[in-house]
């Protein structure tokens, strides 16, 4: 097993619009051990989402090293990054990113389909997870027939059903009431404990911050604090 699930070394990222440069990450150095349950918090524009996108290989850093399970993402081709995301990573996006023509079950099983998992096994795994997160009997509804909270749960199920090594979640509870958010976090914690899945959240939600076992606060593209759940600096 690789020593670190995620390792960043002096990672920098600047976005450019014409002559305007907006620094998003200003030299991030970070290590995440396998099985951590970690939240990244901070105001809008602090770099949280950029950090998750770079860890997930959805964006590339301008400088520094980004390692996931020991693999330097800066050195991987676009195809190699796509295979890594398919096989080892799960994503929960704030905008859901569900396919409107597919049912909830078909959306949730889509990554399993790409992985070549047999149809009956796909459906069994999705239905079990749907039952656990309050989506039972909604399998055949399309996204347009679901509430925002239900769509978010489908998106979470899609990320979790493959049991990836690392799940990156961008504001996963943003559209959920507190009871549903708590239930969802409990399922995530169960997966974390049972499979040693690493979770990295970007969040504004105090509920997520409280349940995280490590809390990183960002400001202006830098890490302002990095504290364990017990309150001791890491």
Q: Domain locations in the chain?
A: 35-58+88-228
Query: For residue range 29-47, what is the model confidence (pLDDT) as tens digits?
Result: 999 999 999 999 999 889 9
pLDDT band at 187 (very low <50, low <70, confident <90, very high): confident
pLDDT band at 232 (very low <50, low <70, confident <90, very high): very low
Query: For residue range 66-79, what is the model confidence (pLDDT) as tens digits?
Result: 999 999 999 999 99
Q: In what order do the strands lie in the sheet with 63-68?
A: 20-32, 6-17, 63-68, 71-72
Distance CA 164, CA 161 (A): 8
DSSP state of 43: -
pLDDT band at 156 (very low <50, low <70, confident <90, very high): confident
CATH class of domain segment(s) 35-58+88-228: alpha beta
Helix (H/G/I), strand (E/B), else coil: 73: helix
Which of 8-12, 60-64, 177-181, 211-215 bottoms out in mean pLDDT, i.e. has the lowest? 177-181
Q: Is the pLDDT confidence value at 81 over 80?
A: yes
Mean pLDDT of 129-155: 89
Helix (H/G/I), strand (E/B), else coil: 115: helix
Q: Which residue has the tokens 């023509």?
A: 101
Distance CA 189, CA 194 (A): 9
Q: What percent of the chain has pLDDT over 70?
A: 97
Mean pLDDT of 100-119: 94
Q: Which residue has the tokens 């961008």?
A: 170
Distance CA 128, CA 146 (A): 19
Distance CA 159, CA 162 (A): 7
Whole-prediction pTM: 0.88
Torsion angles phi and psi, residue 91, rounded to 5: -125, 140
Neighbouring residues of 203: CB distance < 8 A, sequence distance ≥ 6: 39, 40, 41, 48, 169, 171, 172, 173, 209
DSSP-based helix, strand, coil % in the chain, nearest 5: 35, 30, 35
**pLDDT score recorded for residue 1:** 47
DSSP state of 143: G
Mean pLDDT of 197-211: 93
Looking at mean pLDDT, say which of 26-35, 149-158, 195-204 comes out highest. 26-35
């Amino acid at each position: 097993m690789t020593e670190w699930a995620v390792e960043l070394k002096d990672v920098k990222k600047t976005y450019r619009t014409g002559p305007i440069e907006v620094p998003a990450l200003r030299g991030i150095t970070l290590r995440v051990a396998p099985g951590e349950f970690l939240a990244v918090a901070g105001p809008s524009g602090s770099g949280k989402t950029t950090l998750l996108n770079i860890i997930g290989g959805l964006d590339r850093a301008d400088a520094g090293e980004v390692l996931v399970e020991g693999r330097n993402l800066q050195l991987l081709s676009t195809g190699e990054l796509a295979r890594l995301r398919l096989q080892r990573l799960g994503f929960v996006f704030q905008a859901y990113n569900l396919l409107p023509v597919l049912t909830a079950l078909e959306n949730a099983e889509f990554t399993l389909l790409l992985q070549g998992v047999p149809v009956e096994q796909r459906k069994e795994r999705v239905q079990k997870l749907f039952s656990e997160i309050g989506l039972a009997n909604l399998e055949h509804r399309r996204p347009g027939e679901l509430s925002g909270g239900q769509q978010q749960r489908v998106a979470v199920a899609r990320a979790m059903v493959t049991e990836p090594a690392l799940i990156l979640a961008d504001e996963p509870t943003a559209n959920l009431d507190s009871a549903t958010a708590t239930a969802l976090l409990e399922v995530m914690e169960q997966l974390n404990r049972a499979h040693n899945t690493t979770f990295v959240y970007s969040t504004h939600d105090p509920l997520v911050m409280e349940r995280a076992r490590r809390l990183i606060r960002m400001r202006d593209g830098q890490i302002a604090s990095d504290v364990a759940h017990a309150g001791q600096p890491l």
